[in-house]
Structure 1
Amino acid sequence: MFRTLLGAALTSLLLVCSSAWAGTVLVWGDSLSAGYGLRQQQSWPALLGERISAARLPHKVVNASISGETTAGGLARLPAALETHKPSVVVIELGANDGLRGLPVKAMAANLQAMVDASRKAGAQVLLVGMRMQPNYGPDYTARFEAVFRDLAKTNRLRLVPFMMEGFADQRHYFQADGIHPVAEAQPLILDTIWRELKPLLR
């Protein structure tokens, strides 16, 4: 009897532990998500983990973002990350460095599409995070760049965050000295913007 009860208790404990995390949110981005110039716990993905925990949602956050990452680099790294982390949601925040380097928009779009396809094939939902370019790249390039995210979201029926810095991009005090990377005070604002589209994917 004792052994039977003990065995049942251990089995229940293992089931609880194995189901503690119903899913993993994989943040797949560049320096804007890697927390460039910030302490790790100040970045919006770290704050996302805290918010998910506070909401008692059974998900954990894995931030695999790398500063300087392009869509080509992200695509090359993604298969191994999908195999390792087996995410239920992939937040793709890439493209800014493609734009800053003036890389071909068609190639960026193809890389993003391939990442969407790979993520879905692995059983994950996808949240696409868009970006805007400064006008000095020319109106044609800027328009084509920004359209990529809208078109991909429409074609693939993805949830889209059009611009992660919505609401503060024109306020200099929210950026570091380089004028590109948001400061710690801006991270909760970024999280709020992303959360609106991400939360429905966590149910």
Structure 2
Amino acid sequence: MLSVVVPFGATASPKAPLIWAFGDSLTAGYGLPPEAGFTTKLQAALRRAGIAATVRNGGVAGDTAAQARARLRWGLRGLGATPDLVIVELGANDMLRGLPVAQAKANLDAILTELQARHIPVLLAGMRAAPNLGPDYVSAFDGVYPALAKAHAIPRYPFFLDGVAGNPRLIQADGLHPNARGVDIIVGRLLPSVRSALAQGARQ
């Protein structure tokens, strides 16, 4: 079988959009077989909806926003083509480590700035802070995502783990990562936002 290498910078076909899920263990599918991970299930859901998308996995378990920022350009080069949409899902590890909110915000801002400079549409997937971090941290952290979405004029999905967080039936034994059933719920709830972001990016 012949393989075709698409030069970096080439744009994916509108009929077969390329989506890059750029994040941490939640997009990487931590603790799950590949067929049960977020990117595989999102791709399947899009194709069932009549969108022949390819969803590439850009998740690295344990990544903070700073670590993701450091690998952003390398990751984009590795795709082989300019994505039609990047789903940015980061910040959970910054929060779990109690890192300064301003630091996470600055790195997320830099990631969004780089993607926009390349004219790549973005969907920002939000995260929420654990309540045990205290009201001041929670308020500051939770405010990062709407503030960045507004500043960059990009669509935002409020909470990546919506409908899953806090439900032990949908979480793995570590108490943090979704199980296969949880991923199904995440994909189902996120799908309309992904479709809308794709359509918005196509218009632009």
CA contact (8 A) 2:18 2:85 kept: yes
Q: When you count helix as a share of all residues, which structure comes out higher?
A: 1
1:33 CA drift (Å):
1.2
- 1:110 maps to 2:94: no
Counterpart of 2:164 (choices 148, 168, 171) is 168
Superposition deviation, residue 192 in structure 1: 1.6
Q: Which sections of structure 2, spanning at least 5 residues, go unmatched? A: 1-11, 200-204
2:162, 2:85 → 1: CA distance? 22
Distance between the aligned counterparts of 2:140 and 2:195, measured in 1? 29
Give 1:97's aligned residue.
93
Q: CA deviation at 1:69?
A: 0.6
The correspondence for 1:82, drawn from 73, 76, 85, is 76
Q: 1:54 aligned to 2:83?
A: no
TM-score using structure 2 length:
0.86
Unmatched 5+ stretches in structure 1: 1-17
Matching of residue 68 in structure 1 with residue 50 in structure 2: no
Cα separation, 2, equivalents of 1:73 and 1:108: 10
Number of corresponding residues: 186
Q: CA deviation digits over 1:87-139, x for unaligned, max 9?
A: 11110000000001111111111111111111112221000011112111111
- The percentage of aligned residue pairs carrying the same residue is 38
CA shift digits 1:44-80 (9 cap, x unpaired): 2111111222233243111110100110011010012
In structure 1, give the amino acid aligned to 2:55: V
Superposition pairs of residues 7-46 of structure 1, within 5 angstroms: 19=13, 22-46=16-40
**Are 1:140 and 2:136 an aligned pair?**
yes
Superposition CA RMSD, Å? 1.6
Q: TM-score, normalised by structure 1?
A: 0.86
CA contact (8 A) 1:25 1:91 kept: yes
CA drift of 1:168 comes to 3.1
Provide the rounded CA distance (Å) in 1 between the counterparts of 2:113 and 2:14. Answer: 28
Question: Partners of 1:175 and 1:167 in 2: how far apart?
Answer: 11
CA distance in 2, matches of 1:19, 1:93: 24
The match for 1:200 among 179, 196, 199 is: 196
Contact map agreement 1:28 1:64 (CA 8 A) in 2: yes
- Larger gyration radius, structure 1 or structure 2: 1
- State the distance in 2 between where 1:119 and 1:187 align: 26
